[in-house]
Amino acid sequence: MSRRFDGKTVMVTGAGTGFGAEIAKRAAVEGAERVLVHYRSSKDGAEKTASEIEQLGSKPQLVQGDITSWDDIKRMADEAGDVDALVNNVGDMASGQNSWREITEESIDHVLAVDIKGTMLMVHEFGIRMMERERGSIVNIGSTVIVRGSPRAPQYAAGKYGVLGITKSYAKALAPHVRVNTFAPGFMQTEAVLNRPDWKAGRGEQLTRDTPAGRIPPPEELSAAALFLASDEASHITGSYMICDGGYSMLGA
């Protein structure tokens, strides 16, 4: 097993459940000395993730906060201290929405506040501190909707497309000591996806058929790829994005 994060501190937002929890645990498996487990309201899940991280030999630290609050983010950055790698996993996909016809102003405001405002402020505050230490890497979790769009939830596609602008802007602003990239996973068998009404209505089977790799993976299978961008193995990659979707978004397919 690769130990790409020996002696380093990794922070993952939204690490109480789903993909975030798997990324945090993978960081521990890969040797991170300290893993910061962020959560907003999923305290039980965050504590479970922290317990598993401890069993894997790393030191967990719980960090609670709302990423749509700049004051919360400043506090979290101060609490976190010296962070080598930050994975901004928190996002809102409007999972309860079946169609663009169901869109509401409240949903637009919330999705954009989380996906754009929250991501930007996390990059801003943690990036400043990394730049002062002259080292660090930030990975923003995007989505393949940045290339496909989302007729189900246009606000989700808009939010994740905005993440690309944040990534490119701060990759330039924080250079050369801090790298910023976007990791764009396709569909995963997370609880949020599996409980979506359209998934239960047969979209899961359709997506599996349309994916060249022939399956929809569990989130733990993609965690190492996400962390690749945060590792020194990706030392010359910044301002970019990497799609990991089993070929679903392949151009010309």
Which listed residue (156, 161, 170, 241) is catalytic? 156
Is 241 within 8 Å of 167 (Cβ atoms)? yes
Tokens standing for 103? 């869109």
Active-site residue, 170 included: no
Is 119 within 8 Å of 166 (Cβ atoms)? yes
User: For residues 63 and 15, what is the distance between their CA atoms, to the nearest angstrom?
Assistant: 10
Q: Three-state DSSP class for 92?
A: coil
Is 29 within 8 Å of 233 (Cβ atoms)? no
Choose among 137, 180, 142: nearest CA to 11. Answer: 137
- Residues 77-100 as b/e (b if ≥16 CB within 10 A, e otherwise) read beebeebbbbbbbbbbbbbebeee
Q: Three-state DSSP class for 1?
A: coil
User: What phi, psi does 224 have (nearest 5°)?
Assistant: -65, -35
DSSP, residue by residue, 135-201: -EEEEEE--THHHH--SS-HHHHHHHHHHHHHHHHHHHHTTTTEEEEEEEE-----HHHHT-HHIII
- Residues involved in catalysis: 156
